[in-house]
């Protein structure tokens, strides 16, 4: 399956998230207004911002599918990583809003007893989002999509928000009114932590950072070829979900150009078979002691 077909499959995950968020946001806001739950209302507003994040992921995947053109010779795959970055900013904003709001409620002791209907709404919503999370997580690993993985983490955070709202509302039924804002505060921290992890991974990729362990594994694999006398340098970077490798190797100075070309072909085939690296540039130089 080509990278472009993978990206097209990834769009399905973004559409699933958008549909789930639209339905849940509407239901939560309506039930929150009827049942008088500030926690469920905040959860519903959180889902409305998630729609924006999911649309950003969808746009990123759609742009990534564009083929190379005259000023994008490597394609548009990094649009997907930029979408992950946008999703991280939106998640961080929501997480900080949740933390600030819950701290204010605790400080001013703004406690109330919402309807039990709001608790069950939050719990059902949590199970729905956990299902969406598992679907998008499995799909993101299958197609190796960073932006869809970020969307899956956002799905999980939203499930945790709903669970936190459920615990808080349930606690209010037993007179533990402070449990609602406390649960919201903890959930806000979880959202911010998830956003930070996505931000860190996205910026690492955009600045051409690369996994050192994978780079060491690539070097070991190249060294297995009997035609490679030494490895001068190996560099790697990510273009969206595509691994790009540039390697310089030393070979027997007496071999022909055709024999050197055969060595590079063998290395490229081995990298694709063993590590699924389909884009490798192998440069050969004569070995000098």
Closest of 210, 209, 199 to residue 147, by C-alpha: 199
For 40-75, how does the pLDDT look when each residue is reduced to its tens digit (9 = 90+)? 887 887 788 788 778 877 888 788 778 777 787 777
pLDDT band at 222 (very low <50, low <70, confident <90, very high): very high
DSSP symbol at 71: T
Q: Count CA atoms within 13 Å of residue 62 on its CB side.
A: 9
* Interatomic CA distance for residues 108 and 101, integer angstroms: 11
Q: Residue 30 has what pLDDT?
A: 94
Number of neighbouring beta carbons within 10 Å of residue 231:
15
Q: Residue 169 has what pLDDT?
A: 85
Q: Are 10 and 139 in contact (CB under 8 A)?
A: yes
For 258-280, how does the pLDDT look when each residue is reduced to its tens digit (9 = 90+)? 998 999 999 999 998 888 888 88
| Residue-by-residue DSSP string for 232-286 | EEEEEEEETTEEEEEEEEEE-TTS-HHHHHHHHHHHHHHHHHHH---EEEEEEEE
Q: Residue 197 has what pLDDT?
A: 85
Return the SS3 of 39.
Answer: helix
DSSP symbol at 230: E
pLDDT tops 90 at residue 121: yes
pLDDT band at 2 (very low <50, low <70, confident <90, very high): low
Q: Residue 125 has what pLDDT?
A: 94
* Interatomic CA distance for residues 63 and 83, integer angstroms: 10
Q: Which two tokens stand for residue 106?
A: 């605790």
pLDDT tops 50 at residue 1: no
Q: Are 84 and 150 in contact (CB under 8 A)?
A: yes
Q: Which two tokens stand for residue 195?
A: 């956003």
More confident residue, 244 or 77: 244
Beta bridge partners of 279: 244
């Amino acid at each position: 399956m080509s990278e472009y077909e993978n990206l097209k499959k990834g769009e399905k995950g973004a559409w699933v998230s958008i549909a789930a968020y639209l339905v849940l946001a509407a239901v939560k806001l309506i039930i929150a207004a009827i049942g008088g739950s500030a926690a469920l209302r905040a959860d519903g507003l959180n889902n409305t911002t998630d729609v924006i994040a999911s649309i950003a992921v969808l746009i990123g995947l759609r742009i990534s599918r564009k083929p190379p053109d005259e000023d994008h010779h490597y394609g548009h795959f990094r649009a997907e990583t930029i979408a992950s970055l946008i999703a991280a900013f939106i998640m961080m904003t929501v997480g900080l809003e949740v933390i600030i709001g819950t701290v204010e409620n605790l400080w001013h002791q703004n406690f109330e007893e919402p309807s039990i209907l709001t608790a069950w709404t939050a719990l059902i919503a949590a199970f729905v989002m956990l299902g969406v999370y598992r679907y998008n997580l499995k799909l993101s690993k299958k197609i190796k999509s960073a932006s869809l993985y970020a969307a899956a983490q956002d799905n999980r955070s939203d499930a945790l928000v709903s669970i936190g709202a459920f615990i808080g509302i349930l606690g209010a039924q037993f007179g533990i009114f402070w449990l609602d804002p406390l649960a919201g505060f903890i959930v806000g921290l979880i959202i911010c932590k998830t956003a930070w992890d996505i931000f860190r991974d996205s910026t690492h990729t955009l600045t051409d950072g690369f996994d050192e362990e994978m780079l060491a594994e690539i070097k070991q694999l190249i060294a297995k070829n009997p035609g490679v006398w030494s490895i001068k340098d190996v560099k790697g970077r990510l273009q969206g979900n595509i691994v790009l490798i540039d390697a310089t190797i030393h070979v027997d100075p007496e071999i022909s150009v055709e024999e050197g070309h055969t060595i590079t072909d063998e290395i490229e085939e081995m990298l694709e078979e063993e590590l699924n690296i389909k884009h490798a540039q192998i440069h050969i130089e004569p070995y000098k002691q």
